[in-house]
């Protein structure tokens, strides 16, 4: 196994960081790696907003629902859909941009943002730093838009904490890989058995950590997926011009 695969297969989300700053050299290397990540049509419709100011990070922690590690980690990167940027290029070509009004547009931008996020994670962990992705910035997207001064046709999709690890986390178990990998065709025949087994395994994981608040995978999903847990995403995206009506 090479070093890149070892890093990726030993990923842990870190929620405890030292006060030590992340050097400019490290941060520049991480962002340069993500800058080379592929985007559909080479659209480059993703922008990163790097937040190092402590007060601003503390505000993001509040907007994300009180996630203290956002304020603790010395670097926070917000990954934003940026059809403002692409609109300038389309206008230069003498055309009118409409992709931002479609499901395809939002979907492809979300995919590209995910590729950028994954690249940031691998690059950061290769330098011995810790990370945790933050979807909670969609909890109050208008607050994030205001804080980061995002223009129309942009949207804060996900964030990433970066810092030196204070307390490492044990490797969290995953469901049987057969629920993830399907050869030649989709096969859900083993899902029920795998879910039952994983519910037991994840509870054992929580118990080993002394987490009395830990719940099964199915119960955790049940508490979130019974509702639209970030209901402001659609109306705020629409106000930003991302209509999803095509």
pLDDT band with cut points at 50, 70 and 90 for residue 244: confident
Spatial contact of 155 and 237, defined as CB atoms under 8 Å apart: yes
Q: What burial letters (b/e) apply to 124-148, b meaning 16+ CB within 10 Å?
A: bbebebbbbbbebbbbbbebbbebb
Give the CA angle between residues 26, 36, 108 to the nearest 5°: 125
The pLDDT tens digits for 91-117 are 999 999 999 999 999 999 999 999 999
Measured CA to CA, the distance from residue 106 to residue 112 in angstroms comes to: 10
CATH number of 3-170+228-239: 3.40.109.10
For residue 158, pLDDT over 90 is answered with yes
pLDDT band at residue 160 using 50, 70 and 90 as cut-offs: very high
How far is it, in rounded angstroms, from Cα 114 to Cα 140? 20
Which residue, 154, 145, 49, 35, is CA-closest to 106? 154
What is the C-alpha to C-alpha distance for residues 23 and 11, in angstroms, rounded to an integer?
A: 22
Residue 28 has pLDDT above 90, yes or no: yes
Say how far apart CA 4 and CA 87 lie, in whole Å.
Answer: 36
Q: How does pLDDT run across 190-235, given as a tens digit for each residue? A: 999 999 999 999 999 999 999 999 999 999 999 999 999 999 999 9
- The phi, psi pair for 202, rounded to 5°, reads -70, -30
Partnered with residue 70 across adjacent β-strands are: none
Boundaries of every domain in the chain:
3-170+228-239, 172-214
Picking from 48, 116, 133, 33, the residue whose alpha carbon sits closest to that of residue 85 is 48
**Which two tokens mark 90?**
């389309």
pLDDT in tens, 10-23: 999 999 999 999 99
Question: Residue 239: pLDDT band by 50, 70, 90 thresholds?
Answer: very high
90 pLDDT more than 90: yes
The string of pLDDT tens digits covering residues 34-78 is 999 999 999 999 999 999 999 999 999 999 999 999 999 999 999
């Amino acid at each position: 196994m090479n070093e890149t695969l070892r890093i990726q297969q030993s990923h842990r989300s870190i929620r405890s960081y030292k006060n030590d700053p992340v050097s400019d050299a490290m941060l520049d290397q991480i962002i340069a790696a993500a800058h080379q990540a592929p985007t559909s049509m080479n659209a480059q419709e993703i922008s990163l907003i790097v937040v190092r100011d402590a007060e601003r990070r503390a505000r993001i922690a509040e907007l994300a629902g009180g996630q203290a590690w956002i304020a603790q980690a010395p670097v926070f990167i917000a990954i934003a859909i940026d059809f403002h940027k692409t609109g300038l290029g389309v206008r230069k070509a003498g055309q009118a941009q409409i992709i931002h009004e479609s499901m395809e547009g939002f979907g492809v931008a979300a995919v590209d943002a995910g590729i950028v996020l994954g690249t940031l994670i691998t690059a950061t962990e290769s330098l011995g730093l810790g990370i945790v992705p933050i979807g909670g910035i969609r909890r109050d997207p208008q607050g994030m838009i205001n804080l980061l001064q995002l223009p129309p046709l942009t949207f804060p999709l996900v964030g990433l904490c970066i810092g030196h690890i204070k307390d490492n986390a044990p490797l969290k178990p995953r469901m049987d890989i057969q629920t993830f990998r399907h050869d030649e065709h989709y096969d859900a025949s083993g899902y029920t058995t795998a879910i039952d087994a994983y519910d037991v395994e994840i509870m054992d994981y929580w118990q080993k950590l002394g987490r009395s608040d830990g719940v099964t995978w199915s119960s955790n999903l049940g508490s979130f997926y019974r509702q639209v847990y970030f209901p402001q995403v659609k109306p705020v995206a629409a106000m930003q011009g991302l209509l999803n009506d095509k």
